Amino acid sequence: MDNDLGKILKQQRITVPLTLQELAAQSGVSSSHLGRIERGERFPSARILRKISRPLGFDEDELFTLAGFLSPQTPGVAEESSWYSGRQLDPYVARMLAEEPPEIQRSVIGVLSLIKSIARSLPR
Amino acid sequence: MDNDLGKILKQQRITVPLTLQELAAQSGVSSSHLGRIERGERFPSARILRKISRPLGFDEDELFTLAGFLSPQTPGVAEESSWYSGRQLDPYVARMLAEEPPEIQRSVIGVLSLIKSIARSLPR
DNA sequence: ATTATAATTTGCCAAATGGCAAATGTCAAC
DNA sequence: GTTGACATTTGCCATTTGGCAAATTATAAT
C-alpha cells in the first residue's frame, strides 16, 4: 500500500498529459512495463527512471529521490531541502508557465483563486 | 574493456583501504557480488551503489553519475531558471503557486492547456 | 614446506526486471 | 445495439541481479 511513486508518476503523466503509449514512445520504455510501475507491480530501475524523467517533466535527481535512490537533501548549492512539502515550485510547472507571457501567467493565479472560491462553496 | 566503473570502485576500495569483506560488512552488500561488480561481471543497481557510496567515501550522486544513471552535471533543485529558455516566471506568480501542494501546481498546467485548446477553437 | 587464516572467485539459485504479443477495457461514431 | 480505434492490462518469457556456500587463491606464521 505504500506506493507513492506509482501514484506520483501516473498523476504527472495524466496532467502532462500523456497516454501510456505516448510516454512509451517518448521514453523508449514499454507501455506494459510503465503501467505495471504505475500500479506498483514493478519497481522502476534507475535506467527506467532516467528514461521517463524528461518526458514527464521531472529532473532526473528528483525522480531518484522519490524512488529512494537518492537522499532527500540535494548536494549542489545548499538550498532549502524540504521540497515536496509544498514550499517550492515544481520545476515542470515553472518551465511551462515561463513559456507564457506575463499577463497569462498572472491570470493563471486568477483562475486558481476562482476555482478555490468555488471549492469553498461546495458541499463537503 | 569498457569497464570504468569497476576499476574506479576497486581503485577506491584499495586506497581507502578496504577488503571486499570489510566493504561487504560496512555496506550490507555481499562480497561476492562486490567482486563481480569490480571485475565487470555484474552491473550495480542504484540500490547497491547507494549502499557502497558512503563506505567508499563517494557522494551518492557522484557514483550515480559514474554509473551513467545521472547526467554529468545535475543542477540544484531550485535554480533551473538559468536553463529555461526565453522568458522567466513572474515572481508573484511563482510565490503564489509555491503555496499550493505539488499536485495542485501541476493541475494548473493542465487547466491552462485546456483553456488554450478551447481558445484555439474560438472564432477570431 | 605446511599449516592456518584471510581474501577472492565460482557455482548455483531465487527473485526481480522489462519486453512482446495477446487479451481486455473504454469510448466515440455510426 | 455494432464497429473500430485507442488505451490499458495480463500471460509468458528471457535476462539480470544479488546472495549463499563451496572452492580457490593469496598471505603469513611456524
Minimum mean pLDDT among B14-28, B66-80, B84-98: which range?
B84-98
Most confident range, picked from A68-72, B22-26, B56-60: B22-26
CA A99 – CA B39 distance, rounded (Å): 48
| Residue B42: DSSP 8-state | S
Contact flag, residue B42 CB and nucleic strand C, below 7 A: no
Q: What percent of chain A has pLDDT over 90?
A: 39
DSSP state letters, chain A: ---HHHHHHHHHHHHTT--HHHHHHHHTS-HHHHHHHHTTSS---HHHHHHHHHHHT--HHHHHHHTTSS-SS--SS------TTTTS--HHHHHHHHTS-HHHHHHHHHHHHHHHHHHHTS--
Describe the crossing of helices A20-27 and A31-38 by its angle, rounded to 10 degrees: 120
Query: Could you tell me the pLDDT band of residue A41, with boundaries at 50, 70 and 90?
Result: very high
What's the mean pLDDT in B62-76?
79
Position A89 pLDDT exceeds 60: no
Contact flag, residue A19 CB and nucleic strand C, below 7 A: no
What's the mean pLDDT in B80-86?
39
Contact flag, residue A32 CB and nucleic strand D, below 7 A: yes
Q: Measured CA to C1', what is the nucleotide nearest B32?
A: C9
Position A85 pLDDT exceeds 70: no
B87 or A53: which leads in pLDDT? A53
Q: Which residues contact A28 (CB under 8 A, 6 or more apart)?
A: A51
Q: Which residues contact A97 (CB under 8 A, 6 or more apart)?
A: A105, A108, B89, B93, B97, B109, B112
Query: Could you tell me the pLDDT band of residue B7, with boundaries at 50, 70 and 90?
Result: very high
Distance A22 CA to D10 C1' (A): 20
- Mean pLDDT, chain A, rounded, equals 78
Query: Could you tell me the pLDDT band of residue A98, with boundaries at 50, 70 and 90?
Result: low
Q: pLDDT tens for residues A47-69? A: 999 999 988 888 888 899 999 99
Q: pLDDT tens for residues B13-30? A: 998 789 999 999 999 999
Contacts 24+ apart (CB under 8 A), A16-20: A16/A55, A16/A56, A16/A57, A17/B110, A17/B113, A18/A55, A18/A56
Query: Could you tell me the pLDDT band of residue B91, with boundaries at 50, 70 and 90?
Result: low
Minimum Cα–Cα distance from B50: chain A residue: A69
Question: What's residue A31's pLDDT?
Answer: 97
Within B 20-49, residues with CB less than 7 Å from strand D: 28-30, 32-33, 36, 42-45, 47-48
Evaluate if pTM is beyond 0.75.
Answer: no
Using an 8 Å Cβ cutoff, are B48 and B37 in contact?
A: yes
Q: What's the Rg (C-alpha) of chain A?
A: 17
Using an 8 Å Cβ cutoff, are A61 and B80 in contact?
A: no
Q: If DSSP codes are grouped into helix, strand and coil, which group holds residue B92? A: helix
Distance A10 CA to D24 C1' (A): 50
The structural domains of chain A, ordered by start, are 4-70+103-121 (1.10.260.40)
Cβ count near A60 (within 10 Å): 21
